[in-house]
Amino acid sequence: MITIQGQGVCGGVAFGKLLHLKKAGSKIPRTYIQDTQKEWKRFEEARKSAEQQLDDLYQKAIGEVGEENAMIFEIHRMMLEDPDYLDSVKTIIQEQRLNAESAVSITADTFSEMFASMDNSYMQARGADVKDISQRILSILTDEGRLRLSSHAPVIIGAEDLAPSETVEMDKSGILAFVTEKGSSSSHTAILARTMNSPAVIGAVGIMESTYDGADIIVDGFSGKIYVDPDMQTVLTMQKKKEQTDRQTELLSKLKGVKPITKDGQSVLLYANIGSLSDMALVYANDGMGVGLFRSEFLYLGRKTYPSEEEQFSIYKSVLQKAMGKRVVIRTLDIGADKQADYFAMPQEDNPAMGVRAVRLCLTRPAVFKTQLRALYRASMFGKLAIMVPMITSLDEVLQVKDLMKEVREELRQEHLTFREDCEFGIMIETPAAAIICDKLAPEVDFFSIGTNDLTQYTLAVDRQNPDATAFLNPHHTAILRLIDTVIKAAHQAGIWAGICGELAGDLELTELFLAMEVDELSVSPNQILPLKQKILSCNISQIRETALNLLK
């Protein structure tokens, strides 16, 4: 047995096989071959297996999502049989004497470029289908992990690190836990794991050792320990721990439907942070009272071109419809820093966390921002929408955003398109500058939502993507807590509501303090809602107010 110590970022215990996820495209072997006929046969066999997989997927999908939606797998199959596609692969193998992997990868690029060059966003998106089918064949040819994921029993994912676009693409149903060598507790791996309620350990150096691929492992998300080929004693101990955790989960489900009110009658809104339409199901499963943060950047990641107004409109509309009248706070474009999309063609920045990101990008590219605002306003008819703008540092930025919003509303009126006039507008307080001048910002907005992840990184001058600096990233720092207190006070002074949507909102050690500060809303990953509710129900704020507020001293 080998024990690897990492940092647990999402509690829970998982038993399963480790599956190494390697970066796609990073290791397509490019070799010259002698026997072109044999190479073609290799390709044909891989293609046959791919078709078989697609047939299986199609059948499975018909049962789960209906024939119309399952059709995509039929189309993928047709693509694999397309003579143009096959000719291209064959020509490259025969004439350039390249191996099948290279031939498929070159063909995939050629065909997806053809789609990318079309002037129709729907067709442009089809480039992803070509990449997808090619990846399927490549995975079979190179026996890579990515594909085994969808076709095998549940696994524990091991990776160096996970990019936001990779987490979007992942089929999450077969994942028991995550372990990564890099990352920090507010990285995407951690956020994804919390959303899915899967145990996760980051900074697990050594887990990508090639002999561990496929090994039986146990992940303890509480202690951050990973056991490779565990011995009997460890298995028994961990099984006990898993049972305890499962019991806790069971207990929490009893809290569903109970209102989050303290013993002395103080209530708080308990919202969920989500990143995609499908996460709405988790909001309900965990009894969320609304959505406090819908990260719209997931619409922009993992694709080749800007999402169109229609595309965005239909997603926002669905989210609002699914929320059935509950408040949904949608955060506008937050691209930049650790979240990059190639088509934005952002100049290389030495320090992107302090570069042209989020609202700065929106204000320098008003056309992109206005497309999103139009889609949001149009969708506002279908529920209770609140628009929230990230990374504000000045009053001027707020006023500029408001001007653009006004322009958009005016345009919509002229086009006779309907929207709700009472749609709320709020800002994220996630820079020290915004927190310090929040009394000046409050009269201009309907609400504040404190983004503690960035607020911590910027206030403490610690890069949250740097695992070595994590030791200096103390989110309980008095400076952070005082800023939060200032922001909530300023909001109440101006008669607006204030919430917290960063990781700190779910930190049970601080719940009493936040309640003593009279925070109006806490927004956390769906799986953190019930533990937080349990904590709130147990609090008696009038009794502990003074003690709790001592943390500010």
Q: Are strands 225-228 and 497-500 parallel, antiparallel or unpaired?
A: unpaired
Scored b (16 or more CB within 10 A) or e, 348-383 reads eeeebeeebbbbbbbbebeebbbbbbbbbbbbbebb
Could you give the string, one character per residue 212-251, with x where binding to other proteins holds by CB under 8 A and - elsewhere? ----------------------------------------
Q: Which is nearer to other proteins, 88 or 372 (CB)?
A: 88
Q: Which is nearer to other proteins, 72 or 368 (CB)?
A: 72
The least CB distance from residue 308 to other proteins, in Å, is: 12
The long-range contacts involving 95-99, CB below 8 angstroms and separated by at least 24 positions, are: 97/32, 97/33, 97/34, 97/36, 98/30, 98/31, 98/32, 98/33, 99/29, 99/30, 99/31, 99/32, 99/33, 99/39
- Within 10 Å of residue 261's Cβ, how many Cβ atoms? 14
Q: Which is nearer to other proteins, 80 or 274 (CB)?
A: 80
Taking Cα atoms as reference points, which of 308, 368, 367, 309 lies closest to residue 333? 368
Contacts of 389 (CB under 8 A, 6+ apart): 331, 332, 358, 359, 362, 398, 401, 425, 426, 427, 428
The least CB distance from residue 471 to other proteins, in Å, is: 50
Confirm whether 188 is a catalytic residue: yes
- AA letter at 354: M
Q: Which is nearer to other proteins, 130 or 215 (CB)?
A: 130
Q: Which is nearer to other proteins, 111 or 294 (CB)?
A: 111
Could you give the string, one character per residue 293-312, with x where binding to other proteins holds by CB under 8 A and - elsewhere? --------------------
Which residues inside 28-87 make contact with other proteins, applying CB under 8 A?
Answer: 68, 71-72, 74-75, 78-79, 82-85
Q: Which of 1, 123, 258, 508 binds other proteins (CB under 8 A)?
A: 123
The least CB distance from residue 72 to other proteins, in Å, is: 7
Specify burial of residue 320 (Cβ count, 10 A radius: 0-12, 13-18, 19+): buried
Interface region with other proteins, contact rule CB under 8 A, candidates 107-115, 247-255, 382-390, 511-519: 107-115
Helix (H, G, I), strand (E, B) or coil at 291: strand
Catalytic residue among 76, 188, 423, 539: 188
Q: Which of 120, 239, 478, 538 binds other proteins (CB under 8 A)?
A: 120
Q: How far is CA 40 from CA 31, 92, 102, 144, in A?
A: 14, 10, 12, 20
Are 417 and 378 in contact, with CB atoms under 8 Å apart? Answer: yes
The least CB distance from residue 144 to other proteins, in Å, is: 25
Q: Which is nearer to other proteins, 82 or 213 (CB)?
A: 82
Count of chain residues binding other proteins (CB under 8 A)? 21
- Within 10 Å of residue 343's Cβ, how many Cβ atoms? 12
User: What letter would DSSP give residue 275?
Assistant: S
Beta strands in 131-187, from DSSP E residues, in sequence order:
155-159, 175-180
Q: Which is nearer to other proteins, 54 or 200 (CB)?
A: 54
The least CB distance from residue 118 to other proteins, in Å, is: 5
The least CB distance from residue 317 to other proteins, in Å, is: 16
Q: Which of 122, 246, 418, 547 binds other proteins (CB under 8 A)?
A: 122
Give yes or no for residue 417 binding other proteins (CB under 8 A): no
Interface region with other proteins, contact rule CB under 8 A, candidates 89-97, 115-123, 275-283, 523-531: 115-123
Residue 340 in tokens: 């990059």
Catalytic residue among 362, 423, 501, 539: 501
Q: Which of 40, 43, 58, 111 binds other proteins (CB under 8 A)?
A: 111
The least CB distance from residue 60 to other proteins, in Å, is: 18
Q: Which of 20, 42, 126, 378 binds other proteins (CB under 8 A)?
A: 126
Q: Which of 2, 33, 114, 346 binds other proteins (CB under 8 A)?
A: 114
Q: Which is nearer to other proteins, 114 or 235 (CB)?
A: 114
The least CB distance from residue 77 to other proteins, in Å, is: 9
Interface region with other proteins, contact rule CB under 8 A, candidates 58-66, 110-118, 269-277, 450-458: 110-118
Confirm whether 501 is a catalytic residue: yes
Are 339 and 301 in contact, with CB atoms under 8 Å apart? Answer: yes
Taking Cα atoms as reference points, which of 226, 222, 232 lies closest to residue 158? 226
Distance, in Å, from the CA atom of 490 to the CA atom of 484, rounded to the nearest integer, reads 10
Are 134 and 107 in contact, with CB atoms under 8 Å apart? Answer: yes
Q: Which is nearer to other proteins, 114 or 537 (CB)?
A: 114
- Within 10 Å of residue 66's Cβ, how many Cβ atoms? 10
Residue 201 in tokens: 């350990």
Which residues inside 423-442 make contact with other proteins, applying CB under 8 A?
Answer: none
- Within 10 Å of residue 478's Cβ, how many Cβ atoms? 11
Distance, in Å, from the CA atom of 26 to the CA atom of 427, rounded to the nearest integer, reads 39
Q: How far is CA 494 from CA 270, 386, 403, 421, 441, in A?
A: 22, 18, 21, 21, 10
Are 133 and 80 in contact, with CB atoms under 8 Å apart? Answer: yes
The least CB distance from residue 375 to other proteins, in Å, is: 17
Give residues in contact with other proteins (CB under 8 A).
68, 71-72, 74-75, 78-79, 82-85, 111, 114-115, 118-120, 122-123, 126, 129
Q: Enumerate the active-site residues.
A: 188, 501
